[in-house]
Structure 1
Amino acid sequence: MTDSLYIWPSSDMDFWKIENKGTEVVVKWSGNNFLDYKRLAYQFYGCGYKILEEVINDRLNNVKSDMWFLTGIFLIRHSLELGLKSLLCRVLSRKKDIQDTFKKCGHDVALLLKKYDEVGHENFLNSEEKSWLSKYCISLEDVDRKSDIFRFPFDDEFLLKYRNKFLDNMQVTNNLLQAFSLVKRCLEMGVITEEEKFDNTLRSEFFIFTSPSSGNCYLWQSISDVGFYVKIRGYTEAIDFIYQVKDIPNEDKLYPLMFMFRNTIELYLKILFYSRVEKGVSQKAFKSKRKSHRIKKDLWKNVKNMIVNYSDGSDEELKTMKLVEKMLSEIDRLDKKGDKFRYPTSYSLEYYFDNRTLDLSNIYIYLKAIVNFLEGCDSELDAIADIEQEIKNEYESDMYSNTEWY
């Protein structure tokens, strides 16, 4: 594999290029909403499981425990949502009922489960299992109502409740996996493996806390980077890990990897809004656009001038800027709002992305080049901000020393 550190935007890069038949993936949905949502649920679960397994197996690695862990949680949390939506596609007979339910419930797994229980009349779980799963989903929603806590920096409300606490990684993982196994039992109409048997000793809670110790997730947020660093590193390293995992088929990696890349690009563009350089993003844009998901129109548009202002103006840098803008335009065209690699369809059940052939290795290089460029911009602007501050401090010191006191 090409060393990811040396992947940089180049004029021959094309999102759609097929260079390696061995990593070719054909995206073709069946048209059966139940089967397609189920398929994607299993793909996100498989990647999330691998990440959490790596975190648990390498407990002394604090980067994995504090950062990868959050990425893994999101992937399995999302697989729960996809699985429940799959079940609703099976039990709701009319397309309009599915559409209305998806719009009403959104990302809320507790509401999705409640709707399934109300209309499904399926009895693949006993009363104890139903109660456990219901309580667990409510607990999850208490922490992560909008399905964004594990994608973006923690918000003030979250930090007020959980800052500086330690999650028990093993217990949080076991509960999360059991929740998915119960949804999976419904998806498979009662069929389970020995490993998936219900464990009534597990607490039906999403967050389980423990005393400070190595190997558990420390819920912290740096003031200097407004919380972006933890999420960015978690996602970028998890991407490289999943890409290299051999026992996950390429077709099962494609959507989770494209989602993680797209989310990482958004995180990098947003962290640039917080750059400390003197000629940064305008206050007006900062207030109105920093939470947008629109990569080109709202995010790139407002950081581009700042990057240009602090570039050396060489032909090579301007050429790279144009290449990156073109590449970001392609991502924006494919996925304006950050949802087309998370779901097979829109709320109206129209398929986003179908009958397309992609080269996973090419996709990796294409998206990694964008990430590396934005990471370079962030590092360079940080260094420039430090220099600007030093000059300012020296100026103020000189002014103070030259002041005559009477």
Structure 2
Amino acid sequence: MASVMQIWPDDYQSLWDIKYHDYVIEVKWSKIPFEDYKRLAQEYAQCGHLIFENVIESGHNNVKSDMWFFCGIFLLRQSMELGLKALICRVCNRKNEIQKNFKDCCHDLWKLFLRYSEKGENYISSDEKQWLIHYLASIEEVDEKSDMFRFPFEDAFLAQYRDKFLNNISVANNMEQAYHLIKKCINCGTYDHDFQFEAEWSPEFLILASHGIGNCYLCEPVSDHGFHTKITGYIQAADFIFSNCEKNHLGERLYPLIFLLRNAIELCLKRLFYASVDNGVTRHVFLSKRRSHLLKKDLWKNVRPMIQHYASESDADLKIIDIVEDQILELDALDKNGDCFRYPTTYSLEYRCNDREFDVKNVYEYMSAVINFLEGCDSMLDVISDFESEMRSYYSDCYDYYDY
């Protein structure tokens, strides 16, 4: 296999190609929402645990501590949401009741747990329940939309946490404990054999440390608008999950893997909105589309003209742009809003991806190639931006000389 860094979009490659038969898995859901949400919760939790474990064992590895760690936070948070939604599916007898709870609560873990508790199931102790309620409320204070650790930080978050350090071990331990308490509810009161509830742990989501050794530094350079940290973290975490997966566990990694790669592609496209070149996206487009999740309609559509303009000026082969467009359209057709591989079903409990075969290695290479192209575009635009700035400064000096 070629290095991921060397993979480039191929005109003859499709997301659905079967090239590596040892890597083929079939997505097949039971069509029992409780079972399917429970299963995907476990898959996200396993990937989050792998990331946390590797980050913490790496010691003082700044890239992992400061970048990968955010992916672990998202994966564990997502596993909690999936687990709680599994419980909603179990305690609600009617489809429309499940739909209403999903829509009312959306990503709110605290609300989901309260809705579940109102149905009368009680498989955890009073101490465990109080700890979990306080902990889920703490998450919602920081990350109510489940996007804080997927995209560049909001100004309000940075105003409170900039230049501070997360205590990686404490944050990871608390997230794992919260998931295991939810799983205890799923298992009707039974803990996993290796878990023990630690009542003395403070039920706080973000626990700070006094130093950065082995911890996550909450800093975003103004120069890159916070994209480098998130893009690097999501790409490398996806690489790690794929590279450290035994073939008999590929099916358990597919959904989290595709989500991480798809999120990285979205981040790469959004970063291009910030390119400070003369022929960049317009201010109206920047303000109205930069938060969209739509790869085709809002993101690629608005950065392609910029890429094509500068590629044409440098006499580059423009065919690669058409190839990438076809691949982005194929991804968009499968996962328009970035949630197809985040949940087994829609809010309406419809299964969008079922009885489909995936060549996991082909999917990984296909999406990595798109990322490599977009990262190359960002590097190209940085060089062009510097050149344009220098030329403006040069001509400004010339005008000043002649005016004098």
The TM-score range, normalised by the shorter chain, is: over 0.9
Aligned match of 1:401: 401
Q: Deviations over 1:173-194 (max 9, x none)?
A: 1101000010111111122234
1:342-353 aligned within 5 A: 342-353=342-353
Amino acid in the other structure paired with 2:123: F
2:307 aligned with 1:307, yes or no?
yes
Matched AA of 2:170: Q
Asked whether the equivalents of residues 245 and 253 of structure 2 are also in contact (C-alpha less than 8 Å), the reply is no
Cα distance between partner residues in 2 of 1:28 and 1:359: 14
What TM-score, normalized by structure 2, do the two folds share?
Answer: 0.98
- State the one-letter code of the partner of 1:5: M
Q: How does 1:275-354 map to 2 (within 5 A)?
A: 275-312=275-312, 317-354=317-354
1:218 aligns to what SS in structure 2? strand
Provide the C-alpha distance between the structure 2 equivalents of 1:349 and 1:364, rounded to a whole number of angstroms. 27
Structure 1: gaps spanning 5 or more residues: none
Pairwise CA distance, 1:287: 1.2
Q: Work out the CA distance in 2 between the residues paired with 1:296 and 1:401.
A: 47
The reply on whether 1:20 has 2:33 as its aligned counterpart is no
Query: What code does the residue aligned with 2:22 have?
Result: G
**SS of match in other structure, 2:317:** helix
In the alignment, what sits opposite 1:376? 376
**What amino acid maps onto 1:397 in structure 2?**
D
C-alpha distance in structure 2 between counterparts of 1:273 and 1:193, whole Å: 46
Q: How does 1:2-401 map to 2 (within 5 A)?
A: 2-119=2-119, 121-247=120-246, 249-312=249-312, 317-401=317-401
1:357 is paired with a residue whose SS is strand
Q: What SS does structure 2 have at the residue aligned with 1:78?
A: helix
Identity over aligned residues, as a percent?
Answer: 49
Q: Distance in 2 between the 1:73 and 1:5 partners? A: 26
Alpha-carbon distance in 1 for matches of 2:331, 2:364 = 13
CA distance in 2: counterparts of 1:316 and 1:28, whole angstroms: 43
Q: Deviations over 1:107-143 (max 9, x none)?
A: 0000000111111x22210000000000000000101
Unaligned runs of 5+ in 2: none
Distance 2:245 2:264 in 1: 23
1:313 CA drift (Å): 6.1
Which one-letter code corresponds to 2:267 in the other structure?
Answer: L
TM-score for the superposition, normalised by structure 1? 0.97
- For residues 317 and 94 of structure 1, the distance between their equivalents in structure 2, rounded to whole angstroms, comes to 56
Give runs of ≥4 in structure 1 deviating > 4 Å.
Answer: 313-316
Name the SS of the counterpart of 2:194 in structure 1: helix
Give 1:379 shift: 0.5
| Structure-2 separation of matches of 1:115 and 1:196 | 25
The code of the aligned residue for 1:84 comes to: L
Q: Which is worse superposed, 313-322 or 107-116?
A: 313-322
Provide closer, same or farther for how the CA distance between residues 10 and 315 of structure 1 changes in structure 2, counting only shifts above 3 A: farther
**What is the Cα deviation at residue 316 of structure 1?**
6.5
Q: Tell whether the 8 Å contact from 2:131 to 2:203 is kept in structure 1 after alignment.
A: yes
Shift of 1:399: 2.6
- CA offsets 1:20-78 (integer angstroms, 9 cap, x no match): 12111100110000000011101111111100100000121001001000011000000
Partner secondary structure for residue 311 of structure 2: coil
Matched pairs, number = 403
Provide the C-alpha distance between the structure 1 equivalents of 2:316 and 2:155, rounded to a whole number of angstroms: 41
Instruction: Give, as a single letter, the amino acid of the residue that structure 2 aligns with 1:282.
Output: T
CA distance in structure 2 between the aligned counterparts of 1:139 and 1:59, rounded to whole angstroms = 27
2:196 and 2:345 map into 1 onto residues whose CA distance is: 32
Indicate the SS of the match to 2:320. helix
Change (3 A) 1:386 1:284: same
Q: 2 CA distance for matches of 1:47 and 1:246?
A: 10
Q: Do the aligned partners of 2:312 and 2:318 also contact (CA within 8 Å) in 1?
A: no
Contact 2:51 2:72 in 1 (8 A): yes
Q: Which amino acid aligns with 2:26?
A: V
Letter in 2 for 1:126: S
Change (3 A) 1:213 1:122: same
Contact 2:85–2:112 (CA<8 Å) still a contact in 1?
yes
1:312 shift after superposition: 3.6
Query: CA–CA distance in 2 between the matches of 1:395 and 1:313?
Result: 20
Q: Secondary structure at the match of 2:223?
A: coil
What is the root-mean-square deviation of aligned Cα atoms in Å?
Answer: 1.3
Alpha-carbon distance in structure 2 between the residues aligned to 1:213 and 1:341: 34
